Amino acid sequence: MGKTFAEKILGRKAGRPVTAGEIVEVVPDYAMSHDNTAAIAKTFASIGVERLYDPELHVIILDHASPPPNEKFAENHREVREFVKKHGIRNFFDVHRGVCHQVMLEEGFALPGLLIVGSDSHSTTYGAVGAFGTGIGRSEMAVIMATGRIWLRVPETIRVLFRGVPPMGVYPKDLMLYAIGKIGAEGANYMAVEFAGEAVANMDMAGRIVLANMAVEMGAKTGYVEPDEVTLAYVRPRARREFEVVRSDPDAPFAQVHELEVRDLEPQVACPHSVDNVKPVSEVAGTRVDQVFFGSCTNARLEDFAVVARILRGKKIHPDVRMLVVPASQQVYLDALRAGYLEILAEAGAVILNANCGPCMGSHQGIPARGEVSLSTSNRNFKGRQGNREAEIYLCSPATAAASAIRGVITDPREFL
Amino acid sequence: MGIIRGRVWKYGDNVNTDVIFPGKYTYTVTDPKEMASHALEDLDPQFAGQVQPGDLVVAGRNFGCGSSREQAAFCLKYAGVGAVVAKSFSRLYFRNAINAGLPVIQAPDAVEAMEAGEIVEVDLERGELRCRAGCFSFPPLPKEVLGIFEAGGLIPYTRKRLGLPPLPPDSGLPIGEGG
């Protein structure tokens, strides 16, 4: 019987063949942390080990509240910088660089076949280039600092096959929301999800990143897209080390296969307060929107800016709507600037913010007021997610976000394409 | 591992990390007492003020879905919660709870049977939960991670493995200031 990509990558790290269900102890290829490194550093200190097991393992990116909105956050960042200096961590990116997962990809840390853990649940994102990326807790990261090691259960793998090519105006985010709605917020708990099919083969990197990023929203330990020429064209020029493409064998034992037909799919919207409360846009069109957030590690890459700029060109954002725009990284910011997209968005009335996590998790920049409706391209719509439990959060594609910002109500973006 | 006895606080499916410990506190709330005071804040504002040591958080499917933020496990532990009993747990929450030394019990039948406010008893060693409706058994933790849980969490377990002495009980750790 063949092996899945997850069994192969974890087996390589464990130094022996492994199968789903086993628990292995491994040293990851990279361990990513962000603003939470200050708290991790304290837990590391409590272990009683003086030096890091390997400073080269760690990648630290300040992004969650960057620049800091108040003194407490500022002190937090200071502690991270001191820790980085004290331990000689070279892979450090300060507040100017962008959202950690995007930076991990852009900077060539996330590569096919690698095992990457991150103290952030959306570390599944690295599967977009065929890595095994997974989220871990702060204590676990502290122990990796001390010993290099972590325990992981080798997951079973679910295959999600997107059949057909989606129609115009339907984007990878819509496909992913649709899949989460079908499979459920717990449907892939403890498992790896491998995305495949014609729609995925035709997707650019930005689209594949959406799939891997949101795999955790169906409970998955990791998401994965098999590397192909699109992947290699992306990773080759930026790779920081040698890598080897790892693929599931054709006879690999998949725990489940979900075939989803997307030929006639409508744009999709996740409604409050659960990511799997997904409806076609026609069912929620007309819902009032107070704030539109185009950003986060899920979307807001250059490809998304191109779509949003196309919809907003020469238009004005509805006077009752605030549109917040947060590029996924400084690189995306620069590219969008040079392409003229930022000018189009600013002229339409959008607020362009710096590349960081911003409104996504409600620590600063654009917290909705009580009773307000926030339409977001991010990955979570839990109650309180954007900092106010009395607000309603809907999730959608960047195109749906842009169209809705113009109308002031949730709008099918195909009216503008 | 002993007997846990406490009152049932009952909730539904998909209780996520944002309602257990809001994201806005993740980088600023570091003191264990303060962390406990925000436990379940966005789901049940009464909880943190009224929870008693040993009380059980009982919930439906996919408890702890969402963020990797382990304060969602630590805040319940600091609040004195004896155990979380759910129909199922999200993967990250399950890990974080074991690493925090917070008992997590997967027992769907027991969840159905328990009523909010009743007093129940959990025997971790025997894998039994006794409530008004009867006695329910639950499976033990995987043997590979049982040691972590028995040591009181990942940090004390790691210190033990490295041959370091246990931390003093009043250190505020092993849980790590800031979680």
ipTM over 0.95? The verdict is no
Tell me the per-residue pLDDT of A213-223, one tens digit each, with 9 for 90 and over: 999 999 999 99
Q: Which residue stretches of A313-365 are H helix?
A: 330-338, 341-348
H or E, element range at A196? strand A192-196
Q: CB distance B154–A189 less than 8 Å?
A: no
Rounded to whole angstroms, the Cα distance separating A306 from A313 reads 10
- Nearest chain B CA: its distance from A230 CA (Å): 30
- Write out residues 34-93 of B within 8 Å (CB-CB) of A: 42-43, 61-62, 65-70, 73, 88, 90-92
**Residues B26 and A36 sit within 8 Å (Cβ to Cβ):** yes
Q: CB distance A39–B66 less than 8 Å?
A: no
Tell me the per-residue pLDDT of A34-72, one tens digit each, with 9 for 90 and over: 999 999 999 999 999 999 999 999 999 999 999 999 999
Hey, how many other C-beta atoms are within 10 angstroms of the C-beta on A252? 18
CB nearest to B159's CB, from A47, A190, A382: A47
Residue type at position A290: D
Q: CB distance B179–A138 less than 8 Å?
A: yes
Contact of B108 with chain A, judged by CB distance below 8 Å, is answered with no
- Nearest chain B CA: its distance from A409 CA (Å): 26
- Write out residues 81-140 of A within 8 Å (CB-CB) of B: 118-121, 123, 135-140
CB nearest to B68's CB, from A23, A39, A121: A121
Averaged pLDDT of chain A? 97
Dihedral angle sign, alpha carbons of residues A23, A24, A28, A34: positive
Between β-strands B119-123 and B3-10, what pairing exists: parallel, antiparallel or unpaired? Answer: antiparallel
User: Side-chain half-sphere of B39: how many Cα atoms within 13 Å?
Assistant: 25
For B84, the token pair is 């979380």
Collect all residues of chain A within an 8 Å Cβ-Cβ radius of residue B24: 361-363, 387
Tell me the per-residue pLDDT of A180-201, one tens digit each, with 9 for 90 and over: 999 999 999 999 999 999 999 9
pLDDT of A269 higher than 80: yes
**Residues A223 and A213 sit within 8 Å (Cβ to Cβ):** yes
H or E, element range at A260? strand A256-261
pLDDT at site B73: 97
Tell me the per-residue pLDDT of A281-322, one tens digit each, with 9 for 90 and over: 999 999 999 999 999 999 999 999 999 999 999 999 999 999
Residue type at position B113: A
DSSP A120: S
**Residues A161 and A197 sit within 8 Å (Cβ to Cβ):** yes
Widest pairwise Cα distance in chain B: 46
CB nearest to A221's CB, from B30, B91, B154: B91
Q: CB distance B144–A382 less than 8 Å?
A: no
Q: Taking the mean position of all CA atoms in its chain, how far away is CA A387?
A: 19
The residues pairing with A329 across neighbouring beta strands, listed in sequence order, are A98
H or E, element range at B37? helix B32-37
pLDDT at site A235: 98
CB nearest to B92's CB, from A137, A361, A384: A137
pLDDT in tens, chain B (179 residues): 679 999 999 999 999 999 999 988 988 888 999 999 999 999 999 999 999 999 999 999 999 999 999 999 999 999 999 999 999 999 999 999 999 999 999 999 999 999 999 999 999 989 999 999 999 999 988 888 889 989 999 999 999 999 999 987 655 543 433 33
pLDDT at site B170: 57
Q: Taking the mean position of all CA atoms in its chain, how far away is CA A97?
A: 16
Grade residue A362 by pLDDT with cuts at 50, 70 and 90: confident
Residue type at position A44: F
Between β-strands B128-131 and B134-137, what pairing exists: parallel, antiparallel or unpaired? Answer: antiparallel
CB nearest to B154's CB, from A65, A123, A139: A139
Rounded to whole angstroms, the Cα distance separating B79 from B47 reads 9
Hey, how many other C-beta atoms are within 10 angstroms of the C-beta on B35? 24
pTM for this one?
0.94
Rounded to whole angstroms, the Cα distance separating A47 from A81 reads 20
Hey, how many other C-beta atoms are within 10 angstroms of the C-beta on B121? 16
pLDDT at site A139: 96
Collect all residues of chain B within an 8 Å Cβ-Cβ radius of residue A72: 27-28
Task: Tell me the mean pLDDT in the region A106-114.
Answer: 98
Percent of chain A with pLDDT over 70: 100
Hey, how many other C-beta atoms are within 10 angstroms of the C-beta on B143? 8
Contact of B160 with chain A, judged by CB distance below 8 Å, is answered with no
Task: Tell me the mean pLDDT in the region A136-160.
Answer: 97
Rounded to whole angstroms, the Cα distance separating A15 from B168 reads 37
- Quick one: closest CA in B to A388, which residue? B42
Rounded to whole angstroms, the Cα distance separating A326 from A317 reads 16
**Residues A234 and A301 sit within 8 Å (Cβ to Cβ):** no
Non-local CB neighbours of A91 within 8 Å, separated by 6+ positions = A56, A58, A59, A60, A109
Dihedral angle sign, alpha carbons of residues A198, A199, A203, A208: negative
Dihedral angle sign, alpha carbons of residues A215, A220, A225, A231: positive
